């Protein structure tokens, strides 16, 4: 059971994710992705004639269960299976007391907007393009993934030092 209490190495977790994508495509013509789940939830809960939400969301209901499993897995891994000695995230930035500060609220709002806008603008999230799009040999996903990495590098060196100085 010791393997459940520590992060898995890339050479174990990577192939599991890598084999999941083609299995989903082969077994049910399903695409692995998270960012479309909000669209499915909105289509199910908002009975409006908004063009973005007018489609048969019930065909994608499996995705809602997938995201529920991801959330449940995160809770199990972070709370239930935590032995208290392994730090997966720095406490200075990922704690409840930091979220209540002005800096924490600004970072959540700005970060949430940037992630949401970028996901919609790029027609998918980083993992969706990087895992599903690249495995399907989609040219736009390659460009998007390279842009994500370039943006992350530029942000890390040009913007993050000023944000952390607040």
pLDDT digits (tens, 9 = 90+) for 13-29: 888 888 888 888 888 88
Task: Return the pLDDT at 11.
Answer: 92
Angle of CA points 36, 127, 15, to nearest 5°: 125
Are 141 and 130 spatial neighbours (Cβ–Cβ below 8 Å)? yes
Q: How many CB atoms lie within 10 A of CB 40?
A: 20
- Between CA 80 and CA 97 the distance in angstroms is 21
Task: Return the pLDDT at 43.
Answer: 84
Provide the mean pLDDT of the chain: 80
Backbone angles phi, psi at 100, to 5 degrees: -85, -5
Q: What's the mean pLDDT in 93-121?
A: 79
Task: Return the pLDDT at 89.
Answer: 60
Q: What is the pLDDT of residues 47-61, one digit of tens each?
A: 677 887 788 888 888
Task: Return the pLDDT at 5.
Answer: 67
- Between CA 49 and CA 59 the distance in angstroms is 19
pTM of the model: 0.62
């Amino acid at each position: 059971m010791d393997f459940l209490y520590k992060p898995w190495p890339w050479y174990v977790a990577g192939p599991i994710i890598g084999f999941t994508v083609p299995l989903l495509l082969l077994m049910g013509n399903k695409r692995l992705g998270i960012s479309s789940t909000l669209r499915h939830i909105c289509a199910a809960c908002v009975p409006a004639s908004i063009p973005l939400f007018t489609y048969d969301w019930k065909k994608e209901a499996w995705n809602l269960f997938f995201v529920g499993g991801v959330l449940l897995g995160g809770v199990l891994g972070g709370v239930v299976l935590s032995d208290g000695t392994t730090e997966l995230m720095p406490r200075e930035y990922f704690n409840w007391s930091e979220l209540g500060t002005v800096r924490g609220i600004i970072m959540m709002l700005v970060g949430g907007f940037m992630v949401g806008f970028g996901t919609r603008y790029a027609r998918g999230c980083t993992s969706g393009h990087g895992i599903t799009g690249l495995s399907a040999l989609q040219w736009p996903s390659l460009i998007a993934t390279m842009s994500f990495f370039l943006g992350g590098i530029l942000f890390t060196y040009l913007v993050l030092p000023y944000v952390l100085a607040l």
